[in-house]
Amino acid sequence: MPAPNASRWQTLDTPFGAPLELRAGPYGLEAAFFLLDRRARRADRPNALTRKAARQLREYCAGRRKEFSLPLAPMAPDSPISGYRRAVWTELGRIPYGQTRTYAEVATRAGGSARSVGTANGRNPLCIITPCHRVVRKDGLGGYGGPLAPSRSMRMLKIKRSLLEHERRYA
């Protein structure tokens, strides 16, 4: 039997080209990331929080949810996440559903540079929930998914496009 504070996880199929794995620990939702390799999918070990997150994400996928109401471990007061990353991720949460902001616009609000916003975005462990997909370059889409191998980064850009189109459709 796992320890009461052990991480739990649940996988959720999405219409965006890959399933999401949700991971929860004692301080909240720790991660939501796309599984690009379906072979990496493991048997679910859910808890109440992963089930709640999965329900809210299914509502998002159906176009019925625009904001999430979940405890997020990286945003907990005693989280080891840097104050700057937390400021960037807070600004991501302020970007309205169906809209985008440039890296420079987020940097102005968070107090950094466009490059540092890109770095913080690339380290965001809670895709969709902390909507880093809404941040774009001033002259195009920008990146998505952090520093991945080229074949995976192209798949992630397709997912980013799909997320933005989804939100525009339901905005």
> Using CA atoms, how far apart are residues 168 and 171, in angstroms rounded to an integer?
5
- Write out pLDDT tens, residues 87-144: 999 999 999 999 999 999 999 999 999 999 999 999 999 999 999 999 999 999 988 8
* pLDDT, tens digit, 9 for 90 and up, residues 18-59: 999 999 999 999 999 999 987 888 899 999 999 999 999 999
Tell me: the pLDDT tens digits for 76-90? 988 999 899 999 999
Q: Which two tokens stand for residue 159?
A: 């997912």
How does DSSP classify residue 84? H
User: How many other CB atoms are there within 10 angstroms of residue 144's CB atom?
Assistant: 24
pTM of the model: 0.93
Q: Catalytic residue numbers?
A: 132
Burial class of residue 1, CB neighbours in 10 A (0-12, 13-18, 19+): exposed
